[in-house]
Structure 1
Amino acid sequence: MPHTTSTGTAPVLSPLPVHRPLSGDQAAAVAPGTSQAQVFSCPRHQVSVTTVVLDADDFVLLVRDPDQGPEWTLPTGPVDQGEHIRSAAVRCVRERARVGTDPDRITGAYRSPHPAGLNLTWVAAPTTDQHPRHGAVWVPYVEALELLEADDRDAFGTGRLPLAQRLVDALAPFGTHMRVYRPHDLGLPTVPPPR
């Protein structure tokens, strides 16, 4: 059971002999004044990337996600184990729209509570003049924002992170946005913490 300190709740660490090999999701630290390693499990997150592809005329690339039906979305996909996040952004757009991209910068980091996930959003420019494949279109920014806002309203309560905010954040003239969404922000039931 966790114990409470003046700074919050700390995880209870269980002693483990130093010579025991640790699994990939565990880390060890030697507690001060002891020779035993303390083991704790690291949280597992699904890491994904979203790429906001903008052409020179401020048209946004939208794709139809086969898992989400007829709605338009930004190119989004998981980061494969061992894959660099920039490479994942390029791969995701190429797979979904058949458009080459050059990701410029991360414009946002978005954390979802359920399932535990972290989405990194990039802004990118197209590197090819190739037309996007069927199921992908170039849409003026204002129209893209309206489509994504409508989709966000439809998806409220499903746990999916809002897309329209990522588009707005990508065009902001400053920094990287960090947003943490709680269950009630996404229309999910709030479960009280266990006692």
Structure 2
Amino acid sequence: MTEETPRHSVSVTGVVIRPDDGKVLVIKRSDDGRWVPPGGVMELEETPEQCVVREVREETGIEAKPLRLTGVYKNMKLGVVSLAFLCEPLGGELRTSSESIFAEWLSCEDAIALCPEARGIRIEDALVKDGPRVRVHNGSILL
């Protein structure tokens, strides 16, 4: 009997910050009611940058341009690795989707306060220039 090698799921997070006022784009998820920056699971044929553009557009209606990788985060409980990118908005109309019951531009401080620690830290890490950071969490809090 051979043991199968464990597999990781790879996702992306888009930390979209408006350059004019410094507000960050966050959603309130429809499945668990938590506030988070937009993001989701990469499809096999996508690059990380293509995925973050697609996920931000699907969840918020905003067109975003990835600028740089700001962090790598592993959910130790679920085996999900997420790549976070600082993005700039290029246009689009802010809206919700089947995955988001609210989509809002908030101050970074307000967004970080609303998000679970494991998601808010992605906004904090995107604001510093000495990244990318590497962190592990259990889905809610940093370990």
Give the structure-1-normalised TM-score: 0.63
Deviation by residue 1:99-138 (Cα, 9 ceiling, x = unmatched) = 000001110001122211101101100011x331042111
Aligned mates of 1:175, 1:46 — CA distance in 2: 22
Aligned length: 135
**2:135–2:142 CA contact under 8 A, matched in 1:** no
* TM-fit CA distance, 1:143: 1.3
Structure 1 match to 2:44: 81
Local SS of the residue matching 1:165: helix
Aligned mates of 2:125, 2:58 — CA distance in 1: 24
The alignment status of 1:164 with 2:120, answered yes or no, reads: yes
Aligned mates of 1:143, 1:181 — CA distance in 2: 21
Shift in CA distance, 81/177, structure 1 to aligned 2, threshold 3 Å? same
Structure 1 match to 2:88: 125
Structure 1 match to 2:109: 142
Structure 1 match to 2:129: 173
Q: If you compute each CA radius of gyration, which structure gives the higher value, 1 or 2?
A: 1
Aligned mates of 1:81, 1:172 — CA distance in 2: 30
Moved over 6 A (4+): none
Give the structure-2-normalised TM-score: 0.84
Deviation by residue 1:31-90 (Cα, 9 ceiling, x = unmatched) = xxxxxxxxx954310111011000011100011211112x32110210012211110000
* Ranges in structure 1 where 5+ consecutive residues have no aligned partner: 1-13, 15-39, 153-161, 188-195
Aligned mates of 2:142, 2:129 — CA distance in 1: 26
Aligned mates of 1:186, 1:164 — CA distance in 2: 10
Structure 2 match to 1:90: 53
* Ranges in structure 2 where 5+ consecutive residues have no aligned partner: 97-101
Aligned mates of 2:87, 2:54 — CA distance in 1: 12
> Which residue of 67, 71, 86 maps to 1:108?
71
Aligned mates of 2:18, 2:142 — CA distance in 1: 30
